[in-house]
Structure 1
Amino acid sequence: MKIIGIGKNYVSDLSEMPSEKGMPVIFTKPESSILKSGETLHLPKVSNEVWYEIELAFRIGKTCKNVSREEAIDYIDGVTLANDLTAKDVLAASRESKGPWALAKGFDGATPLGEFVSMEGFQDLGNINFTLEINGEVVQTGHSSLMIYSLGEVVEVVSSFMTLEPGDVILTGTPAKGVGLVKSGDHMLAHLEGVKTLETVVA
């Protein structure tokens, strides 16, 4: 099972949408980073600066290779929310030497992931709302229309390089504003179209 992440994929306003787009920022995360909804997050000892990033997550339902963006929805069988946790201090140190994002994004528990629900009711991929609240305060609000690279475009690019298999997960990026530090004792609650989808308590 692969987790494919997309970086820097949101604008704050449609007026900021680039007229020309190159290759999206793509990275992978290990399956061991997954933390199920309701499980306790233990912050890693390797970092003093873990940040939250709430994202729409989509699950591949059938083998997918060289698929066009128009066909992509036919290969998706579920949607949920994920928190793409990032060890910012580890990432900064890696960037100094032009290194990869793998350690900063891939520590144990770095991907709190909700239960997937059917795509029925989510046919308009450009009109999905989601939020993250911490300790009762909304800290991130997202809408899929503000994605620079649509899910279809992401599937098209990724499947041209690697075969996507049933169960693989695509994280589509976090809203342009609102990311912040995760602290011990935090209670994180994410909603997809107003429905509680992901809950994480930080030890």
Structure 2
Amino acid sequence: MKIPLPTHSAPVSVGKVLCIGRNYADHAAEMDRDVPDEPMVFLKPPSALIRSGAAVQLPSQSRDVHHEVELVAVVGRKGKGIARSAALDHVAGYAVGLDMTARDLQAEAKERRHPWSVAKGFDTFAPLGPIQPVEAVGDVQDLTLQLTVNDETRQEASTRHQIFPVRELVHYCSQIFTLSPGDLLYTGTPSGVGPVQEGDRLHASATGLDPLSVSVERPE
């Protein structure tokens, strides 16, 4: 998939989809997990991406798929070992996104001490809203995230409650991976995660960002 970046004249291909687990204390608590002392990073494949107006496809392997609304930082400049002071200079824009999770498969993987790749990586499991340039967003650590399912609010929180702010996440990830234009960083979800069903309509929003709307389908 290619996405438009404010810093490029032509769309660029998505590279890595980096995701952060347990970046809000209230979400860690609802999952009965400890608050991490450093960012928890996992990956989704680019094939998990869909854009607003598309549909999340519920996989036959799972009967318990959950929504997780997140702020997404879009990398615009290549960097490795980026200093904290320069981290936000490597972000071209932001979007609201959803980290869809097959919770039953994730729980089974945790019990077996296996990775989460299957539970997180199905096609359509990384919806991504329209990308807005950095200058249109304002203070990225003071945005209100919200998710409604069938017009009922399920999640609502401020990014000021992130355990690791965006600056720290970019710095940390760049110590491990070379970040490249088109990489996406899903920065974690607040509390209120829950199951979705066939026919549901999900609407995700964040201050200063265009909303993301997707439906939910279960293919025959």
The alignment's TM-score, normalised by the length of structure 1, stands at 0.92
Aligned to 1:115: 130
Deviations 1:167-198 (A, max 9, x none): 000000001x2100010110001112175510
| Structure 2 match to 1:144 | 159
Structure 1 gaps, min length 5: 14-19
1: distance between equivalents of 2:45 and 2:125? 9
- Counterparts of residues 9-158 of structure 1 (less than 5 Å): 9-12=23-26, 22-158=37-173
Instruction: Determine the C-alpha separation between the residues in 1 that align with 2:119 and 2:212.
Output: 22
Separation in 1 of the partners of 2:167 and 2:210? 26
In structure 1, the partner of 2:175 is 160
- In 1, the alpha carbon distance for the partners of 2:164 and 2:149 equals 27
Q: Which SS does the other structure have where 1:161 is aligned?
A: coil
Misfit runs of 4+, over 6 Å: none
5+ long unaligned stretches in structure 2:
1-14, 28-34
Identity of aligned residues (%): 36
Q: Deviations over 1:87-111 (max 9, x none)?
A: 0111111111111011100011110
Aligned pair in 2 of structure 1 residues 195, 165: CA closer, same or farther (>3 Å)? closer
**1:22, distance to aligned residue in structure 2 (A):** 2.5
- Residues 80 and 114, structure 1, Cα contact 8 Å, conserved in 2: yes
Q: Distance in 2 between matches of 1:62 and 1:168?
A: 10
* Aligned amino acid, residue 201 of structure 1: S
Cα 1:194–1:164 shift into 2, 3 Å: closer
* CA shift for structure 1 position 69: 1.7
Question: Do the aligned residues in 1 keep the contact of 2:132 with 2:210 (CA within 8 Å)?
Answer: no
Q: Deviations over 1:138-167 (max 9, x none)?
A: 110021100000111111111011101000
Out of 90-99 and 186-195, give the one that drifted further. 186-195
1:71 is paired with a residue of what secondary structure? helix
Shift of 1:11: 2.5
User: 1:186 maps to which residue?
Assistant: 200
Q: For residues 11 and 189 of structure 1, what CA distance do their matches in structure 2 show?
A: 23
